[in-house]
Amino acid sequence: MSSNSKKRPALGKGLSALLESSATDITSRDLSDSSVLGSVAMLPITAIEANPFNPRTHFEQEALEELSASIAQHGIIQPLTVRKLGRNKYQLISGERRFKASQLAGLKEIPAYIRVANDQTMLEMALVENIQREDLNAIEVALSYQRLIQECRLTQDQLAKQISKSRTSITNHLRLLKLPAPIQLAVREKEISMGHARALVAIADEKNQLELFDRIINEKLSVREVEKIIKGKSDTPEKKTKKSTSDAHVTRAQSQFTESLSDRVSAKVQIKKQSTGNGKVIINFNSEVDLNRIIEILNEE
């Protein structure tokens, strides 16, 4: 697409700004009932289809039933947002949870903002809308970030600016997608927190990730406890063995040095080390004469 093409709407300004965009794949002239565009209308629920671009794929049945009961009693407070595909045919842009709950409640019509949008704008609107939801789990947020980066051709820095999030937050979410499927599912089901998942990402081996994941579930470990376990495992047996062998070698070399020097000067020799790593070698003498004797021995070639 050339640089003169129509500019895409900014992602960071929220859904309301996007809805004001003129981006469209069909014009008002193509719609026989275009007068409803941009307004709130009561639409037949059977005329609305789900949004294939919605990053949210999991809906808790109990929560849906609770929302359904509320809608049945009080109605829908916040209208859905749909795009018009043709005569009496619409597709959700946002509000799928309310849409599903309305179906459960047996509603025949639901209020909706009507919008005309092309697929690219549709994807961006759905992703940005969902990213800003508090009830979206960390994996769904990560998938939204991934799709915005891959399908909307954004860098992490560009995405961070567009949605007013830190680059670190985006990176931390994306790293969760590297975890094994059982762990990702546990994040989705809220069996473990994002903090648990982030800690598990630090483990390179998948088998070890799953083993610690099982402990988190079975022992109900806190994030801090998991971090301590991982920190303790960072010194692997191989590293500990090498460290132990190295320490023993240094100790033995120091002992041999003091014994050799003690034998040479016929005096007690000590090595005094400080916690900072520096220190001194001490040669004990009994008198001025004894000191001169030691000096003469050390000066000998």
Tens of pLDDT, residue by residue over 172-222, are 999 999 999 899 989 988 899 999 999 999 998 889 999 999 999 999 999
* Segment among 27-31, 227-231, 234-238 with least mean pLDDT: 27-31
CB neighbours of residue 171 within 10 Å: 12
- What would the pLDDT profile of 109-158 be if each residue is shown by its tens digit? 999 988 776 666 766 776 777 677 666 788 888 888 887 887 677 888 88
Residues 6+ apart with CB under 8 A from 176: 138, 139, 142, 184, 187, 194, 197, 198, 201
Active centre residues (catalytic): 96
Q: Where does the chain show beta strands of DSSP type E?
A: 40-44, 48-49, 80-86, 89-94, 109-115, 269-273, 279-283
Task: Tell whether 34 and 109 lie within a shared domain.
Answer: yes
Task: Tell whether 209 and 120 lie within a shared domain.
Answer: no
| Residue 195: domain span | 179-233
2-8 contacts, C-beta under 8 A, 24 or more apart: 8/120, 8/121, 8/124
- What would the pLDDT profile of 247-265 be if each residue is shown by its tens digit? 666 777 777 777 778 767 7
Task: Tell whether 89 and 151 lie within a shared domain.
Answer: yes
CA distance 194 to 172: 9
**Considering the domain boundaries, does residue 50 fall inside one?**
yes
**Considering the domain boundaries, does residue 2 fall inside one?**
no
Q: What is the pLDDT of residue 13?
A: 39
Task: Tell whether 106 and 37 lie within a shared domain.
Answer: yes
Bridge pairing between strands 109-115 and 40-44 = antiparallel
| Number of domains composing the chain | 3
Identify which of 114, 65, 76 has the alpha carbon closest to the alpha carbon of residue 98.
76
**Considering the domain boundaries, does residue 238 fall inside one?**
no
CA distance 71 to 188: 25
Task: Tell whether 158 and 290 lie within a shared domain.
Answer: no
Q: What is the pLDDT of residue 220?
A: 93
Task: Tell whether 209 and 280 lie within a shared domain.
Answer: no
* Whole-Å CA distances, 291 to 15, 69, 169, 228, 282: 88, 97, 67, 54, 12
For residues 66-88, average pLDDT: 85
Residues 6+ apart with CB under 8 A from 165: 159
**Considering the domain boundaries, does residue 243 fall inside one?**
no
Q: What is the pLDDT of residue 212?
A: 95
* Amino acid identity for residue 198 in this structure: R
Q: Do you know the residue count of the chain?
A: 301
Measured torsion, CA atoms of residues 83, 86, 91, 95, in degrees rounded to the nearest 10: 50
pTM here is 0.46
- What would the pLDDT profile of 28-72 be if each residue is shown by its tens digit? 334 444 445 556 789 999 999 987 766 666 677 888 888 899 888
Task: Tell whether 195 and 292 lie within a shared domain.
Answer: no
Task: Tell whether 85 and 165 lie within a shared domain.
Answer: yes
* Whole-Å CA distances, 274 to 1, 74, 271: 68, 74, 10
Pair 194, 176: CB distance under 8 Å: yes
